[in-house]
Amino acid sequence: MKKHKKYCYMALPVLGVLFYLIYIHKAAIDLVYSDYIRLINSYLPDVWNPQTFFVPDLLTRIPLNYVSRIINVKLFGYSVTYDRVMGILSFGLSAMCIASYSYKKQIGLGWYAAMMVVMFSLNKWEMLYNGTGWIHFFAFACFFFNYLIVDRIYSEKSKVPKSKREIWILCVLPALITIGVSGPYCAIYTMTLVLAYLFIHIRNKIIIRQDKKKLNMDEKSGAVGIFDKRLSRLNGKQIALLLCMTIWPLLAYLWSNSKAEYEYAGAVQEPLLSSFLAAPKFFVKFFLKSFASMVFGVEMINRRMGDFQGKVWCLVGFLVILAYLLAVWMNFYYKIAEETILPLMLLAGGGMNHMIVLLNRWIFMNDTYGMSSRYALQFQVGIIGIFLTFALVSKMKKEKPSEKKWEKRVHTIMIAVAVVFVAGNVATTVEELDFCHHRKYSNELKVPVLLNYEDVTEDELKFLLEYQNDGIKEALTILKENHWNIFGPNSASEALMQ
């Protein structure tokens, strides 16, 4: 029976991946657009050219992308579908990490299934659709893998470490992940690890101090002190080493990032502080609405809920923040944090992602910008932390029912919050499934125009391919001369002609 239950945990991520693959098949064709134009002009046709790799801001370019690009060009003729599938498979790895944790903690299948429904929501359709961001899905899978190792070491408390192999793995992973795959998400990843290590260290210090006081009392009474099993097997020296090995890759990334040049169309040039003092309500609304996007996707809101005022979404965002706070409180009140640290790590990561999006994207002075589906992958980390916390509390309540009325009410609130998340994400998914065939049809109409791009103006091409800079004709010429993408055999254009 236990073996069959394990298959259930692993089956849902597989079904989620299949669902995403079906969605992409239904919603998209193999057609370059948007950021692909910049990538083509920057790296193609010679994907082996070392000059495109060894650049001053190399560490911001995500080196693994170079390897993937070579594979894509040489084996798939620069296929957007290849990138999209890589993103979906990578997201499946993230779900597998959560599945492994859920099975180990014996989280109820009902809670687990609800969490998977939210996790595989189409609230992140834009990330799935735009294949250039596939590496970000893989980055989050690496984050979760790293977090799981930290959690396992934290959970398996022992006076003497069972194996130092995992410690060395934790020393190496931050450099590989930060420099190799994480890109702009490395700051939150690093800060989450730093907070986790500091939490473990401070908790150990508090326990040791309590034990010393207890030992002094026992010595007076003639009792013998014993080692406290609550202590994490990470000692102070190991934590200091892990902190150093976690922070230095971020510093290297920031140094490389200082050499990069970014252009933001439509961004204001005012400093953050003066803008905040001039319009503090804007920042509050931006922040609150970004949380609301985890209940209903922004496209769902725009198409189906346009009559609701912005105050409604600010209220929804405020309620989501309360759900965060409820989950954090539960981790300490029910002593979940004494046994596992992963839920707290995910809650911290999710909250910090909302903050960093605000700090980076307020420059567009659009308070709904943080609701974009491109940020759902980052924000969803915190929602997974909420669901894991609720599931662990529910499991505890089944094992040790409480007679306190207020605890029963809190449990009811917990279930209500979960229902709202599930209902909102299901509605968002249904809405996107209903609309996605329009995306595919719109792209199919573009193919004949792009095949004759020489006869089309640059402005028309910018509109068609959702790209605001020059260089579209140069990019399409590279594709045509090398018979890649829509100009290649077995391409989307060939399929439409048949």
Q: Do 43 and 482 meet the contact criterion of CB atoms below 8 Å apart?
A: no
The band of 225, judged by pLDDT with boundaries at 50, 70 and 90, is: very low
Alpha-carbon gap, residue 137 to 380, rounded angstroms? 12
The confidence score (pLDDT) of residue 75 equals 94
Alpha-carbon gap, residue 257 to 109, rounded angstroms? 43
Give the model confidence (pLDDT) of 89-144 as tens digits: 999 999 999 999 999 999 999 999 999 999 999 999 999 999 999 999 999 999 99
pTM of the model: 0.92
Nearest to 485 by CA among 202, 127, 77: 77
Window from 226-235, 253-262, 423-432 with minimum mean pLDDT: 226-235
The confidence score (pLDDT) of residue 263 equals 60
Average pLDDT value for residue range 3-10: 80
Q: Do 17 and 141 meet the contact criterion of CB atoms below 8 Å apart?
A: no
The confidence score (pLDDT) of residue 362 equals 87
pLDDT over threshold 80, residue 406: yes
Percentage, residues of the chain above pLDDT 70: 91
Distance of CA 487 to CAs 118, 307, 469, 490, 495, Å?
Answer: 38, 44, 22, 9, 11
Q: Do 80 and 485 meet the contact criterion of CB atoms below 8 Å apart?
A: yes
Average pLDDT value for residue range 302-307: 80
The confidence score (pLDDT) of residue 226 equals 47
Give the model confidence (pLDDT) of 142-200 as tens digits: 999 999 999 999 987 654 445 578 889 999 999 999 999 998 899 999 999 999 999 99
Give the model confidence (pLDDT) of 455-482 as tens digits: 999 999 999 999 988 899 999 999 999 9
The confidence score (pLDDT) of residue 481 equals 95
Residue reference for tokens 């944090």 = 337
Give the model confidence (pLDDT) of 250-281 as tens digits: 999 999 888 766 665 556 667 888 888 888 99
pLDDT over threshold 70, residue 51: yes
The confidence score (pLDDT) of residue 310 equals 83
Task: Tell me the chain's radius of gyration from C-alpha atoms.
Answer: 25
The confidence score (pLDDT) of residue 408 equals 87
Give the angle 133-134-137 at the CA atoms, nearest 5°.
105
Alpha-carbon gap, residue 172 to 373, rounded angstroms? 32
The confidence score (pLDDT) of residue 264 equals 57
The confidence score (pLDDT) of residue 220 equals 54
Distance of CA 253 to CAs 59, 106, 147, 174, Å?
Answer: 6, 38, 20, 12
Average pLDDT value for residue range 46-71: 88
Window from 33-37, 196-200, 309-313, 413-417 with minimum mean pLDDT: 309-313
Mean pLDDT of the chain: 89
**Residue 194: its H or E element:** helix 186-221
The confidence score (pLDDT) of residue 488 equals 86
Question: Where are the domains positioned within the chain?
Answer: 156-260
Alpha-carbon gap, residue 343 to 154, rounded angstroms? 13
Q: Do 75 and 361 meet the contact criterion of CB atoms below 8 Å apart?
A: no
DSSP codes of every residue in 212-272: HHHHHHHHHHT------TTS-S--HHHHHHHHHHHHHHHHHHHHHHTT-----TT---S-H
Average pLDDT value for residue range 415-431: 96
Helix axes 134-155, 342-361, angle to 10 degrees: 140
Alpha helices for 293-371 (secondary structure H): 298-304, 310-333, 342-361
Kindly give, in sequence order, each residue whose CB lies less than 8 Å from that of residue 28, ignoring residues fewer than 6 positions away: 80, 81, 84, 129, 439, 440, 443
More confident residue, 98 or 219: 98
Cis peptide before 45 (omega within 30 of 0): yes
Give the angle 245-251-253 at the CA atoms, nearest 5°.
110
SS (H, E, C) 98-162: HHHHHHHCCCCHHHHHHHHHHHCCHHHHHHHHCHHHHHHHHHHHHHHHHHHHHHHHHHCCCCCCC
Alpha-carbon gap, residue 66 to 179, rounded angstroms? 13
Alpha-carbon gap, residue 362 to 306, rounded angstroms? 23
The band of 223, judged by pLDDT with boundaries at 50, 70 and 90, is: very low
Distance of CA 356 to CAs 130, 247, 286, Å?
Answer: 22, 18, 12
Distance of CA 54 to the CA centre of its chain: 28
The band of 491, judged by pLDDT with boundaries at 50, 70 and 90, is: low
pLDDT over threshold 60, residue 497: no
